[in-house]
Structure 1
Amino acid sequence: MSASQHSATVTVFASPSSWIESAAVDQCRQVAALDGMVHVAGMPDLHPGKGAPIGAAMLSSVLYPLLVGSDIGCGIAVFPIALKRPAPERLAARFPDLDRALEPEDLGDFGLVARDIPAGHVEGLGTVGRGNHFAELARVHTVLDAGHADRLGLRAGDLVLIVHSGSRGLGERILREHTEAHGAGPAADTEAYLAVHDAAVRWGSLNRRLIAARVAGALGARRSEPIVDQCHNLVEIRDGAYLHRKGAAPGDGRDVLIAGTRGTVSYLVAAHAGPEAGHSVAHGAGRKMSRADALVRNRAKHTVEELRRTPLGSVVVCGDRQLLFEEAPGAYKRIEQVVADLVEHGLATPIATTAPVVTYKTADREPRQGRDRGRV
Structure 2
Amino acid sequence: MSHQNSRPEAVPQSTVATVAVFAAPTSWIESDAVDQCHQVAALDGMVHVAAMPDLHPGKGAPIGAAMASTVLYPFLVGSDIGCGIAVFPIRLKRAVAARIAARLPDLDRAPDSDDPAWAVVDGDIPAGHVEGLGTVGRGNHFVELARVDTVFEPDHADRLGLVAGDLVLIVHSGSRGLGERILRAHTEVHGAGPAADPAAYLAAHDEAVRWGSLNRRLMAARVAHALGAEPTAPIVDQCHNLVEIRDGVYLHRKGAAPGDGNDVLIAGTRGTPSYLVAAHAGPDANHSVAHGAGRKMSRADALRRGKVKHTVEQLRRTPVGSLVVCGDRQLLFEEAPSAYKRIEQVIADLVDHQLATPVATTIPLVTYKTPDHKRGRP
The answer to whether the aligner puts 1:92 opposite 2:101 as a matched pair is yes
Whole-angstrom distance in 1 between the partners of 2:134 and 2:363? 24
The answer to whether the aligner puts 1:286 opposite 2:290 as a matched pair is no
The answer as to whether partners of 1:114 and 1:120 remain within 8 angstroms in 2 is no
The answer to whether the aligner puts 1:163 opposite 2:189 as a matched pair is no
Q: 1:253 corresponds to which residue?
A: 261
Task: Work out which of the residue numbers 154, 159, 167 in structure 2 matches 1:151.
Answer: 159
CA-CA distance at 1:311 after TM superposition: 1.6
**SS of equivalent to 2:284:** helix
Could you give the per-residue CA deviations for residues 258-287 of structure 1, whole angstroms, max 9, x where no partner exists? 000000000000000000001000000000
The answer to whether the aligner puts 1:220 opposite 2:232 as a matched pair is no
User: Which AA in structure 2 matches 1:87?
Assistant: V
The answer as to whether partners of 1:77 and 1:229 remain within 8 angstroms in 2 is yes
**Do the aligned partners of residues 347 and 88 (structure 1) sit closer, same or farther apart at CA in structure 2, a change above 3 Å counting?**
same
1:313-324 paired onto structure 2 within 5 Å? 313-324=321-332
**SS of equivalent to 2:217:** helix
Deviates more, 1:8-17 or 1:145-154: 145-154
CA-CA distance at 1:312 after TM superposition: 1.0
Q: Identity percentage over the alignment?
A: 79
The answer to whether the aligner puts 1:196 opposite 2:190 as a matched pair is no
Q: 2:317 corresponds to which residue?
A: 309
The answer to whether the aligner puts 1:358 opposite 2:362 as a matched pair is no
Q: 1:31 corresponds to which residue?
A: 40
1:31-180 paired onto structure 2 within 5 Å? 31-102=40-111, 105-106=113-114, 110-111=118-119, 116-180=124-188
Q: 1:374 corresponds to which residue?
A: none
Whole-angstrom distance in 2 between the partners of 1:229 and 1:173? 23
User: Which AA in structure 2 matches 1:362?
Assistant: T
Whole-angstrom distance in 1 between the partners of 2:329 and 2:181? 28
The answer as to whether partners of 1:96 and 1:218 remain within 8 angstroms in 2 is yes
**SS of equivalent to 1:147:** helix
Whole-angstrom distance in 1 between the partners of 2:120 and 2:259? 31
CA-CA distance at 1:250 after TM superposition: 0.3
Q: 2:8 corresponds to which residue?
A: none
The answer as to whether partners of 2:121 and 2:218 remain within 8 angstroms in 1 is no
Could you give the per-residue CA deviations for residues 190-215 of structure 1, whole angstroms, max 9, x where no partner exists? 00000000000000000000000000
Q: 1:11 corresponds to which residue?
A: 20
The answer as to whether partners of 2:120 and 2:217 remain within 8 angstroms in 1 is no
**Do the aligned partners of residues 193 and 106 (structure 1) sit closer, same or farther apart at CA in structure 2, a change above 3 Å counting?**
farther
CA-CA distance at 1:111 after TM superposition: 2.6
**Do the aligned partners of residues 354 and 192 (structure 1) sit closer, same or farther apart at CA in structure 2, a change above 3 Å counting?**
same
**SS of equivalent to 2:168:** strand
1:239-250 paired onto structure 2 within 5 Å? 239-250=247-258
Whole-angstrom distance in 2 between the partners of 1:114 and 1:238? 29
Structure 1 unaligned blocks of 5 or more = 372-376
The answer to whether the aligner puts 1:234 opposite 2:242 as a matched pair is yes
**Do the aligned partners of residues 249 and 208 (structure 1) sit closer, same or farther apart at CA in structure 2, a change above 3 Å counting?**
same
Could you give the per-residue CA deviations for residues 8-51 of structure 1, whole angstroms, max 9, x where no partner exists? 10000000110000000000000000000000000000000011
Whole-angstrom distance in 2 between the partners of 1:368 and 1:112? 29
Whole-angstrom distance in 2 between the partners of 1:333 and 1:113? 36
The answer as to whether partners of 1:71 and 1:233 remain within 8 angstroms in 2 is yes
Whole-angstrom distance in 2 between the partners of 1:307 and 1:340? 27
RMSD, aligned CA: 1.4
Could you give the per-residue CA deviations for residues 189-245 of structure 1, whole angstroms, max 9, x where no partner exists? 000000000000000000000000000000001100000000000000002210000
The answer as to whether partners of 2:48 and 2:69 remain within 8 angstroms in 1 is yes
User: Which AA in structure 2 matches 1:217?
Assistant: H
* Number of equivalenced pairs: 365
The answer as to whether partners of 1:65 and 1:187 remain within 8 angstroms in 2 is yes
CA-CA distance at 1:110 after TM superposition: 2.1
Deviates more, 1:83-92 or 1:245-254: 83-92
**SS of equivalent to 1:346:** coil
Whole-angstrom distance in 2 between the partners of 1:284 and 1:106? 35
Could you give the per-residue CA deviations for residues 46-77 of structure 1, whole angstroms, max 9, x where no partner exists? 00001110000000000000000000000000
Whole-angstrom distance in 1 between the partners of 2:132 and 2:199? 26
**SS of equivalent to 1:212:** helix
Structure 2 unaligned blocks of 5 or more = 1-13
The answer as to whether partners of 1:139 and 1:354 remain within 8 angstroms in 2 is yes
The answer as to whether partners of 2:134 and 2:215 remain within 8 angstroms in 1 is yes
Deviates more, 1:358-367 or 1:70-79: 358-367
**SS of equivalent to 1:188:** coil
The answer as to whether partners of 1:28 and 1:53 remain within 8 angstroms in 2 is yes
TM-score (norm 1): 0.95
Whole-angstrom distance in 2 between the partners of 1:207 and 1:107? 14
CA-CA distance at 1:145 after TM superposition: 1.0
